[in-house]
Structure 1
Amino acid sequence: MAILKIARMGHPVLLEKCQPVADPGAPEIRRLVADMMETMEDAPGAGLAAPQVHIPLRLFVFRVQPTRASDVPDDTPIGNTVVINPIVEPAGEERVLRWEGCLSIPGLRAAVPRWARIRYSGVDCDGNPVGGEVGGFHAGVVQHEYDHLDGILYPMRMNDFRLFGFNEEMSRAGL
């Protein structure tokens, strides 16, 4: 496995709509997924989408560590997971502000409006279905990574730029 280079904000691949993965079980896809998992862990991050490593394909990896899971229903820890050719839809009308950062926009974070609950589906490298109806951090990280597949970065979702800034400054302000 190898640590992959992260595309930074301004790189054209981050603004592209990605193509579906034709063969989720192909050796090159399995290798990509393994490398993305290692890169996510090394960062350390909660998720990583293929365009963030310069590959315009519809897949992402993520995890919900025990320290991130909340008391929201269906927000329990989950180990490293891949979602290939995902579909994401809201599961209700409620939206919440969620603090987010991004490996492609280092040093910054913001409060981003997201669906409180979502349903998502896709497959893993063996063609097994993955997904479900989730809330909390789990729902937020899936929405964030899914946006990358359509060329959307989290600042594009913001509606209150007072809640956007450098990590250190936001911490000093108690945000």
Structure 2
Amino acid sequence: MSILKILLYPDNRLRNKAEYVNSIDNNTQIIINNLLDTLYYNKGIGLSATQVNIHKKIIVLNIEKEIILINPELIYKSNEKIDYIKEGCLSIPNIFYSVPRYKTIKIKALDRNGNKLIINSKNNYLLSICIQHEIDHLNGKLFIDYLSELKKSIIFRKINKYIKINDINK
């Protein structure tokens, strides 16, 4: 198992759209294990394969329990949104903003064994936000895309400073 390098904004590879996983084979299991190791190492609650430059529709979550989502698809979203919970992102370190998200969602996906899952986030706003955030990654979208241009430019400067201070090579 490996700790994978997380792509940092503004890396353009974060904008790539993930591909459908056609078969859950040994390689898929290795990707899932490496995603989990990377998630736990970085003390995150959600990570998409896109964030580690693997453009497959795979998400790992650790909210109350470990959840693996392969080919997740949003099948229901409530009319009501929430916009008062701040989001963070391992690809945009130390930046937290509130963005509008659906209060309740329902998704279908496969687990790591190929079993069909239906997840309803009713009454679990953190789960709802996290799943939407990670599905956005699979579609090449970042949570900061919901922000104003001014806020995005401030974030861009902060991230460049973070990269320079931490001597992170791209």
Tell me the TM-score normalised to structure 2 length.
0.82
Aligned equivalents of 2:78, 2:148: Cα separation in 1? 20
Q: Distance in 2 between matches of 1:138 and 1:160?
A: 27
CA distance in 2, matches of 1:147, 1:11: 16
> Is residue 90–residue 115 contact of structure 1 (8 Å, CA) maintained in 2?
no
Structure 1, unmatched stretches of 5+, are 65-76, 167-175
User: In structure 2, do the counterparts of structure 1 residues 161 and 81 end up closer, same or farther at CA, with 3 Å as the change threshold?
Assistant: farther
2: CA distance, partners of 1:44 / 1:8: 16
Alpha-carbon shift at residue 18 of structure 1 (Å): 1.0
Identity %: 28
Matching residue's letter, 1:155:
I
Q: Which runs of 5+ in 2 are unaligned?
A: 159-170
Residue 82 (1) aligns with residue 68 (2): yes
- 1:129 matched to which residue of 2? 116
Is 1:100 paired with 2:87?
A: yes
- Is residue 2:135 matched to residue 1:146? yes
Q: In the aligned structure 2, how far is the partner of 1:121 from the partner of 1:48?
A: 18
Map 1:12-23 to 2 at 5 A. Answer: 12-23=12-23
Taking the TM superposition and a 5 Å limit, the aligned residue runs for 1:22-171 are 22-24=22-24, 26-64=25-63, 77=64, 79-97=65-83, 98-134=85-121, 135-158=124-147
From the two aligned structures, give the one with the greater helix fraction: 2
CA–CA distance in structure 1, aligned partners of residues 130 and 118 of structure 2: 13
Q: One-letter code of the match for 1:110?
A: Y
Aligned length: 151
- Residue by residue, what CA displacement relative to the aligned partner does 1:68-99 show, whole Å, maximum 9, x if unpaired? xxxxxxxxx2x211100110144320000131
The residue identity in structure 2 corresponding to 1:14 is L
Gap change, CA 1:63 and 1:111, over 3 Å in 2: same
Gap change, CA 1:92 and 1:161, over 3 Å in 2: farther
Q: Give the CA RMSD over aligned residues.
A: 1.8
Amino acid at match of 1:82: I
Structure with more of its chain in strand, by fraction: 1
The structure 1 segments of at least 4 consecutive aligned residues displaced by more than 4 Å after TM superposition are 159-162
Distance in 1 of aligned mates of 2:130 and 2:35 = 15
Give the aligned residue type for 1:147. Answer: D
1:161 Cα deviation (Å)?
6.6
Q: Secondary structure at the match of 1:61?
A: strand
Q: What is the deviation of 1:14?
A: 0.6
Cα distance, 1:121 vs structure 2: 1.1
CA–CA distance in structure 2, aligned partners of residues 36 and 108 of structure 1: 22
